[in-house]
Amino acid sequence: MKKGLFKVLVFAFAILSLNSCFNKAGKLSEKITGKWMIVERNGSPLLTNLSHIVTFLSPTEGYASTSWIELSDNDNSSLSKRGKTEVVIKGRKITKTLHINSHVTVIDEMKVTSITDNEMCGVSKVKTYIDGYKVTTIQYSGRYERVTANYEKEILGLWEGKVTSDMGSDFNDTERHRWEFLPDGNYRFYVWNNGQWQVNDEFAQYVLDATMICCRWKNLGLTEEEHREWWVISSPEKGVLDWNAIREQPDGTTYTSTIKMRKIR
């Protein structure tokens, strides 16, 4: 009798726990609006170049940081932070549909396991379709953090700085440089040469979504190869920007690269 009662109590507790999860997720549409950055995948910190920010304008509409994706049918040089995303919320599941171009569609079905004012966790199944045919399916658990800071205006102007970590950018040295960020999405990268600052890149563009910035460039007079890097920025004090990124070495180990900049004008 006691054994049977114990089973009933265990079953009842399981049902109550399940209902509690559903009730918590029932507030999903109330909490989801805003910007979220994925910081972990399958329990491990995510490389910054693979991270992104998702912005929920409402429970039915949003956009994603997609500067690493070709957004144009004919021009792979396009650069945008607003890949429009259709959003559907049903219970604990968020379905995000992103049309990369007329051929490629990405559908992310995320089952939310927990959400607070500052953090969201869930399991995603991401499917990629080309001309209506599914070509890949990836499943992973992810942890997102809410993003409240925004440096889109603060970054404009001329900055000077250098790599401050033992290991820096894949395409940078430890010398002092200057970056001049313009309102049109272009920037100028300067090196000190023969007693003066000189522009070093053939072209350089950036896209900044709140705290995540992507820079893309080609080195002046060298190959036509394009380089891209993501960074997460913060401002510990007025006129100072810290750039941070998790990078991967050839052996698979990771390290954090940092750059500190101070505003010149």
Quick one: 137 and 201 in the same domain? no
User: Does position 134 have pLDDT exceeding 90, yes or no?
Assistant: yes
Q: Taking the C-alpha atoms of 175, 45, 237 and 198 in order, what is their torsion angle to the nearest 10 degrees?
A: 30
Average pLDDT over residues 54-76: 69
Average pLDDT, the chain: 82
Q: What angle do CA 15, 20, 23 make, to 5 degrees?
A: 125
Portion of the chain with pLDDT greater than 70, in percent? 80
Quick one: 141 and 193 in the same domain? no
Average pLDDT over residues 121-142: 95
User: Into how many domains does the chain fold?
Assistant: 2
Average pLDDT over residues 143-158: 96
pLDDT of residue 130: 94
pLDDT of residue 234: 94
User: Does position 2 have pLDDT exceeding 60, yes or no?
Assistant: no
Quick one: 121 and 161 in the same domain? no
pLDDT of residue 169: 66
Does residue 19 belong to any structural domain of this protein? no
Does residue 141 belong to any structural domain of this protein? yes
pLDDT tens digit sequence for 211-250: 999 888 877 666 677 788 899 999 988 999 999 999 988 8
pLDDT tens digit sequence for 159-198: 999 988 877 666 667 788 999 999 999 999 998 888 999 8
Quick one: 254 and 192 in the same domain? yes
Quick one: 137 and 175 in the same domain? no
pLDDT of residue 26: 45
Does residue 179 belong to any structural domain of this protein? yes
Whole domain around residue 68: which residue ranges? 30-147
pLDDT of residue 172: 64
Q: How confident is the model at residue 16 (pLDDT cuts 50, 70, 90)?
A: very low
CATH assignment of the domain containing 86: 2.40.128.20
Token pair of 114 as six digits: 């927990």
Quick one: 172 and 231 in the same domain? yes
pLDDT of residue 164: 86
Quick one: 62 and 123 in the same domain? yes
In angstroms, the CA 95 to CA 141 distance is 15
Quick one: 171 and 142 in the same domain? no
Quick one: 190 and 235 in the same domain? yes
pTM more than 0.85? no
Q: What angle do CA 251, 136, 250 make, to 5 degrees?
A: 10
Q: Could you count the other beta carbons within 10 Å of the beta carbon of residue 163?
A: 19
Quick one: 231 and 253 in the same domain? yes
pLDDT of residue 216: 85
In angstroms, the CA 254 to CA 165 distance is 13
Quick one: 126 and 181 in the same domain? no
pLDDT of residue 82: 66
Does residue 152 belong to any structural domain of this protein? no
